[in-house]
Structure 1
């Protein structure tokens, strides 16, 4: 990804890592909360087409009328590093993150591609020119299926089914957990197409160091008829997958077909 207004996130994070390490190393717990993205938005780094506008973190590009652009990729990262594990003590952090979001196809029956919440090792190289919307802004053709080149865990909200997705070629929006590859380790259906346009989804992602389970719950409280809930979990030993210090954030992408990807609020808390 490139952006004439923002330096690449990967270079910024590499530059600030040593400074942040000094300030964060003594902290056993950490938290932040963004009720919207007008509040302390300087703590959110954006790259590609991502931006903060009117209190909303927009991951992909849209025009003044809110219509999404095709072939748009955006990335946002919290301005700081998180102490996820400690090799010396063998401890791994418990954490919880919650966010509300809107994915809007703006009247298109087929839409895509989706967005992710990710946790990446410091130094993970996000692609500079990932034009394939199916890679959700995290990978390119050289890295998408090569687990040895990646150090990232993501929860994907995938609204368009690619050939590596479950139930291909039938289009089936899904939520998945990805470990070092765009191919999900586990998926559940995502009911985005059953929601009225503009519906607000709420996601909660938790990790328990004792169980070593990453769990995801997604709800649409105003879904017609009843509250729609999707849940999934998968065992992950973060100490063996990612570095001790990590970065967290969101990515989003569109391809030939498009949709909006907006994050409305976000909170995170961890304890090591």
Structure 2
């Protein structure tokens, strides 16, 4: 029994030190100032106020010139596993406001939800139509600052379709696919977006709301893309936005995110430990472990 107690302690040690990597999951029902650095990292002109995440400044008198901003969640997303080739499924929902009511003309330039390599920063000269994602005229596929994004574009640049739109961008400011968006930014109404990725079909889909004549309008688009071809295993997820010569507020009110990929290495380690205990049982005889005690010691 002494041996059993000893090896029970050893089992607790192995259980506690085996590296488990849980899928990324969080739900910020109302983004507030205390989430700064504890949940969300900001860059450029982004900050958090009592009104939510301000991806660019919300004060028009401080918005002169070209201003980009970014915000990312504090933990990275395990997008795919190199050893197995497995991709994650993920889904996200966020509520946001793009408000040009303080502007003397229609606002610019828009907001984007993006995935980019961990440690990436706002590229140089990415204000205005660059949306904080890429050099503002990077319309060709680029590799220096890779990203996959869903843009909510409020200004028609020379590479954009006619009208405000939602687009899926892959290493380029020219959207791979897009859909018209009735955004009504002059009234600053709240919108919602649901973005999901299916690792089996490689389908990236977007559902979004807009407003026209005081009625909520629903829109959608989708694109088939193997994210392993464009992004590394680990990525940051977040929001970017930019203003140009015109002003608008880019405010994210709430943000929920869920993914499915579990670290394969941890499963292999679990198997090794299980096999090791099987070997011990064969060599030295069976022991009875009180697993309720093991779990209690873990708490």
Range into which the TM-score falls when normalised by the shorter chain: 0.7 to 0.9
1:99 is paired with a residue whose SS is: strand
The Cα offsets for residues 125-176 of structure 1, whole Å up to 9 and x where unpaired, read as 431x426411001111575534232321000010001011123xxxx11100
User: Which residue number in structure 2 is paired with residue 81 of structure 1?
Assistant: 76
Provide structure 1 residue ranges, at least 5 long, that are not aligned to the other structure. Answer: 1-22
How many residues align? The count is 241
Alpha-carbon shift at residue 255 of structure 1 (Å): 0.6
| From 22, 30, 33, the counterpart of 2:24 | 30
Instruction: Give 1 or 2 for the bigger CA radius of gyration.
Output: 2
Report the secondary structure of 2:129's partner residue.
helix
CA contact (8 A) 1:82 1:246 kept: yes
The aligned runs of 1:111-260 (5 Å cut-off) are 111-127=107-123, 129-130=124-125, 132-141=127-136, 143=138, 145-167=140-162, 172-193=163-184, 197-220=187-210, 224=213, 226-260=215-249
Aligned residues of 1:87 and 1:239 also touching (Cα < 8 A): no
SS at match of 1:86: coil
2:53 is matched with which residue?
57
RMSD: 2.3
Structure 2 counterpart of 1:15: none
Q: TM-score, normalising length from structure 2?
A: 0.74
Taking structure 1 as the reference length, what is the TM-score of the superposition? Answer: 0.81
Give unpaired runs (5+ residues) of structure 2: 1-16, 262-299
Greater shift after overlay, 106-115 or 43-52?
106-115
Residue 270 (1) aligns with residue 259 (2) = yes
Q: Which has the higher helix share?
A: 2
Q: Which aligned segments of 4 or more residues in structure 1 are displaced greater than 6 angstroms?
A: none
Query: In the superposition, relative to structure 1, how do residues 180 and 25 fare at CA in structure 2: closer, same or farther (>3 Å)?
Result: farther
Q: What secondary structure, in the 3-state scheme, does the structure 2 residue paired with 1:119 have?
A: strand
